Structure 1
């Protein structure tokens, strides 16, 4: 029996789940404009163990969202996950954020395109089939009316880019699943268990999130 704590903080959604053999026992999450991950994450972890009746020492591993996504959000999630793994001497599992997002779309055929908002018309995206097999790796891409024109399948878009992308991605084979906005630790449950079964883990000391782009520090312009 394996108990895995899943931590997803790559977007506005601060999400934590506890899973047993790939099935979620309890999930706590909240999506707020102000990115309250630093305040919420450890509270959610404590509440999950208190409410579920399990002990943190029951954990077999911790899984964390590896990105792409918010620099600050990813740092907070990874730091918490590493701290737990060090303290409990258990393995760390890294989960593709876009795969977690795509996993929410339940389709029989076609392609799933998860997208995370970057800036202006740029998104972080990947392509998965209906069985959640990756057909195109993660990219940072500028969305315009020609994006994905080479794909003839029905395309199902999920993520927080609906508002800015719907006006240009408007072909007859384009469908927006508008209720699926943020990745959730709930979907991480079965993804992390599959990796745990084959010992697909990362080095706790050296693992770094996948930012996709270098983090840039900017100085406000003087008025």
Structure 2
């Protein structure tokens, strides 16, 4: 199965092509740009680029995957809009991928306890907590102090804002890049869901903002 993958949930705009089955998933091609407020102008150009680079046409694509949130209000809206348009145009189903699960995926086999903290606004974060491969907390917004008080020695903290957390004793803190979604990880989750037949309702799917829109992001 071949999957076209889109991510516009943060400042990074990424597109990839992945293919695979239940036992193996591989990256065919990918590209990303880290340019604020340029997703609407660049997303389709990136889609065209990865498809041309891979010599793959719309007839080869069997599903579309997109990050559904949380993240940038504007980015999520643009990403989902483009993904839905492509799904209708290619006549293929759509798969949605939670942003925080995509961030955690590369580390899930290496740490027993993983926290993902993606900046919502100053000193507030979209939170997910994984323990022994299970998601125990998701869909919540926490303040800085609340998250800091729940961290235990040996935990991994994946965040796009490591400077605010500083040096936390006994806590493994990511660099800012590892605190953002990787488009290949989005593709891995998306392809697994597509193989299982877990598709979104194209007519009714909306971004998962976690909370109301309170200004530009």
| Distance in 2, Cα, partners of 1:216 & 1:123 | 14
| Distance in 2, Cα, partners of 1:78 & 1:48 | 18
- Please give the residue correspondences for 1:31-46 in structure 2 after superposition, counting only pairs within 5 Å: 31-32=34-35, 34-46=36-48
Task: Verify: 1:112 aligned to 2:111, yes or no.
Answer: no
How far does the alpha carbon of each residue in 1:83-110 deviate from its partner, in whole angstroms, 9 at most, with x for none? 0111122111010000011113265332
| Distance in 2, Cα, partners of 1:115 & 1:217 | 20
- How many residues of Structure 1 are paired with residues of Structure 2 in the alignment? 211
Evaluate the alpha carbon distance shift between residue 78 and residue 148 of structure 1 in structure 2; reply closer, same or farther with a 3 A threshold.
same
Unaligned ranges ≥5, structure 2: none
Q: Is the 8 A contact 1:105 1:180 kept in 2?
A: no
User: Which residue in the other structure is 1:59 paired with?
Assistant: 61
Unaligned ranges ≥5, structure 1: 219-223
Higher helix share: 2
- How far residue 147 of structure 1 moved from its aligned partner, in angstroms, is 2.9
- Please give the residue correspondences for 1:1-223 in structure 2 after superposition, counting only pairs within 5 Å: 2-21=1-20, 22-32=25-35, 34-105=36-107, 107-129=109-131, 131=133, 133-144=134-145, 147=147, 149-150=149-150, 152=152, 154-166=154-166, 170-172=168-170, 174-178=171-175, 179-216=177-214
Secondary structure, in 3 states, of the residue corresponding to 1:123? strand
Larger Rg: 1
- How far residue 115 of structure 1 moved from its aligned partner, in angstroms, is 1.5
Q: CA RMSD in A?
A: 1.8
| Distance in 1, Cα, partners of 2:140 & 2:119 | 12
How far does the alpha carbon of each residue in 1:71-94 deviate from its partner, in whole angstroms, 9 at most, with x for none? 100011000000011112211101
Q: Is the 8 A contact 1:105 1:158 kept in 2?
A: no
Evaluate the alpha carbon distance shift between residue 130 and residue 18 of structure 1 in structure 2; reply closer, same or farther with a 3 A threshold.
farther
- How far residue 128 of structure 1 moved from its aligned partner, in angstroms, is 1.6
Q: Is the 8 A contact 1:127 1:135 kept in 2?
A: yes
- How far residue 206 of structure 1 moved from its aligned partner, in angstroms, is 0.7
